[in-house]
Each structure stands twice: as C-alpha cells, then as structure tokens.
Chain A
Amino acid sequence: RALGSTEKEAVLDYLLQYGYLQKPLEGAVDFRLEDITEALRAFQEASDLPVSGQMDDDTRARMKLPRCGLEDPFNQKTLK
C-alpha cells in the first residue's frame, strides 16, 4: 500500500533519526524506494518482526513504542 505523504515523512524521519537511513552529505534528501525498503527490512529484522521491507501494522506499531534516543547500529552496512 502506498503511504500517505505525512506518514511517509514520519517513517523517513524515524529511519533517519535512528540510523537506518543515512542522510547524504551533499544534495537533496531524495531516497530511492529500494533504500527505504532496505532500511525497513533492517528495522524489522532488528525488531524481530516479519521482514517484508513494507510498512505494515506491526512495523508501524513498533515505531510508536517509547525508546532510547541513541541511534541503532542495525543497517546493512554496519551488519556487514
């Protein structure tokens, strides 16, 4: 399901804030769909959720839980 622009923005904010997406040092922030899918997969994997790369209800609920403000180390680059 395509995300509404507000939710998409919130998801991107979350993925950026906690280190699942890396803000480019130069140029505009314009993530490709595969970047976001990959970041969602990393988040789902680290959260013991079904890994789909899609924004589903479980993922949405997980992102709303209270948490620590430090970044997570769980993107594919750090795993590698």
Chain B
Amino acid sequence: FLLLGRWRKKHLTYRVLNLPSTLSPSRARAALHQAFKYWSSVAPLTFREVKAGWADIRLSFHGRHSPYCSNSFDGPGKVLAHADIPELGSVHFDNDEFWTEGTYKGVNLRIIAAHEVGHALGLGHSRYTQALMAPVYAGYQPYFRLHPDDVAGIQALYGKKNPEAEDEEEEIRLSTVSPVTTKPSPMPNPCSTELDAMMLGPRGKTYAFKGDYVWTVTDSGPGPLFRVSALWEGLPGNLDAAVYSPRTGWIHFFKGNKVWRYVGFRMSPGFPMKLNRVEPNLDAALYWPVNQKVFLFKGSGYWQWDELARTDFSRYPKPIKELFTGVPDRPSAAMSWQDGQVYFFKGKEYWRLNQQLRVAKGYPRNVTHWMHCRPQTPDTNSLPGDVTPSSTVTILDTTPSAADLVLD
C-alpha cells in the first residue's frame, strides 16, 4: 500500500450530495454506508452521515464535466470515479456508469465507493491486484472483504480497531466526558534528539526510534513521525535496540529483559519472549552482512548471535574495541547500512567504520548530518527540510490511539 496523507481526527462526517439514477435511493445509500463500514470495522474510525451543511467527506455523482470538479469523466467504462486525499474530502463518481448492487452486471457502487473512500482516508493504490485499493476494478464480488494489504494500510494510518476502545468512544460521544488517557512521551525533534535505536529495515528503509515515536530517514530528511505502536502493533516505545536481518526477514526489538520479533509489521507467535542468554537492557544491535550475524551491544561488550543456529554465548560478551576500533562504549544505536558501512550512534554524534572496522576519518559527526537536517539560522525558524516541533504537530495526531491505551 501507499499512504497519501491522513485525517487528524478519527470521527468523520460524510454527506451524500446526490445519487445515481440506476439504483433506488435506499439501495444506493445502503451501498455507500457499507463502503464506510468496511474501513470503520478495521480501524478506530467512525463515520456519521449529515444531511445538510458541511461534511468532511462529500460524495457526489457528476457527468463528463462538472463546474465543481476540474477532473472530467469519460463516459461509460474507463475512469469510474476519483477522490481527493486528506483532508480535502471530495469523492466523485462518474454518472455515466451503470451503477449496480447485488449483480455482476454494471459497476458495483459499494466496492467502488469503498475504494474511493480509501483514497479520501489517505490510501494510495496498492500493488496487490486483489486488494480493494488496486487501481483496476476487479468486478462484483458477492462476499467482498478487504484484502490484508488494505487493512494493513488503513491501520498504518489510524491504528487498529479495538472493540473496548470502540465502546469507550461511544460512551464519550454520548456523555461528552473526556477520557483518561495515558500521555505519550514528548514528540522528539529528529534534528536534535538523541536516539534510542536505528535500523535498516525491510526494503532498505532506515528507521529511527525515540521514545514512543519512529520515523524514516531519507535523502530529503526525516519523514513524518508515527507512534511506534501504530506501525508495530504490540510494541512499546522507549526501545533499547532494533535490528532487521535480511537473512531471515526477522526484525528484533529489545527492551529491558524482553525481545519482540516481527516479520514486516506482524508480530511472530510466542513473542515477546524473555531475554535469557544475553544481558537485559541492551544498548544497540546491528546485522553484519559480512558474516550474516546479529551483534548485540551493552556497555563495553558485544555478543555475536546466529539467528538460525544455537549460539554458544559462553565466550561473550567480548570487548567492543576488539572488533570495532574507535567506537564509544554504551552506544545508543548501531546498524550496518545500505552503503555497506557500519554506523554507531551515541548522544548527538555518529561514527562511520571503514572496511577494517575502524572509525573513518572525519568522525564522529553530528547526527543532524545523518538526518539530512539543514542548520537553523537565527532569523529563520523553519527552513525547508527541517522538521521542527511545530511542523510535526501538523502531521501527527498526538492523541493516544486505542492500541496505545491497551499497551499503556
């Protein structure tokens, strides 16, 4: 799935501005209601229909040209509908289509509406041709269900549906009493924070962790911040270490005396487990592609771990300086990156190691270089590329999600 944006609230209104002539109003309205229900059944979203006035999401049918829409339609077939990404809210259907429900004839309004509402909620097109969010209409399906990729996408944006939280939200709406929520840790500034962990994850994505938040690092700077538990369900914040192994496809997260294993964003059965054979409260972890082993760091020592074989840890921990020359003890984070180099992070500095595993000349450097943050000048508070606390606030909903409440 691809994410295009998100609403900063989870309780949304919608309004049906007009209906197609090919379906009875009650049938068409039921199809549109069901389209919203697919999403609200897997994510902590609620949708309330309004019959007048402004609505967050507005559904309408128009022909080839509309004075209210700059994107024309093209008659029967071809383009069926289009929608705007958050937080715009327009959802338009081609009035020239033969909209139907409960039959293989024509175009199923419920399924197309669910697809377009997916866009309105922030989902882009999926590469899974069987997913609802695939760009091409796959035809009427009497027992339609969301594809796992659709579910993963919407939950990456809004978190997972929690039955208890749903009840709680219902009560809140009725009584207007504010819920007692556990506050997340302060939102870090990626350009100035000290890190908990770093990881070169699946598909070459670099993840940085701090407190309850995680973000990706790209050539153009830090990406938007997400709650850790919104991406990896069941994972707490304030991690000690994180490491992804391309050898096994496993991601291991360490915190205290526990280890979590995920494949992608799904926790493996039986986890979290107690960390038994290495010391708790690790500092960092990395995967070294040269020998396909995971290295765990604590204090001045390290353990070398083979994920697929019973490792004899009796000769560990060994001194870090024996293998990685010039790196600090008690690193905050470590990883081998896609350029083939090994990096260590501590405080606001990072070290790069050369092929002989010695610290390269010119290091340590400031983490702002790593994050691709531009330096701030005294008269400029928000340079392009900077992620200032104020700009991140606009991206994120800081309200703890239902999943967070359970975890906390």
Contact = CB atoms under 8 A, between A and B. Distances in A.
Interface stretch (B119-127, B247-255, B294-302, B330-338): B119-127
A70 B5 CA distance: 14
Nearest to A69: B82
A68 B107 contact: no
In the A-B complex, the 4 residue pairs with the smallest Cβ-Cβ separation, listed nearest first, are A69-B82, A69-B79, A67-B136, A66-B137
A46 B127 CA distance: 6
A68 B129 contact: no
A70 B83 contact: yes
Contacts of A62: 136
B2 interface: yes
Contacts of A72: 125, 135
A64 B79 CA distance: 10
A48 interface: yes
B292 interface: no
A37 interface: no
Given A70-B124, A70-B125, A74-B127, A47 B136 contact: yes
Contacts of A69: 71, 73, 79-82
Contacts of B125: 68, 70-74
Nearest to B128: A48
| Candidate in A67, A70, A72, A74 with the most chain B CB atoms within 10 angstroms | A70
Nearest to B115: A68
Tell me the interface secondary structure of chain A in the complex: loop
B11 interface: no
A65 interface: yes
A66 B135 contact: no
Interface in A7-25: 18
Nearest to B1: A73
A17 to B, nearest CB: 9
B64 interface: no
A70 B135 contact: yes
A47 B129 contact: yes
A67 B124 contact: no
A65 B73 CA distance: 15
A69 B66 CA distance: 15
Contacts of A70: 82-83, 119, 124-125, 135
A60 to B, nearest CB: 14
B74 to A, nearest CB: 9
A13 to B, nearest CB: 11
B77 interface: yes
A65 B129 CA distance: 13
Nearest to A65: B136
B116 interface: yes
A66 B73 CA distance: 12
Contact of B137 (A46, A65, A71): A65
Contacts of B318: none
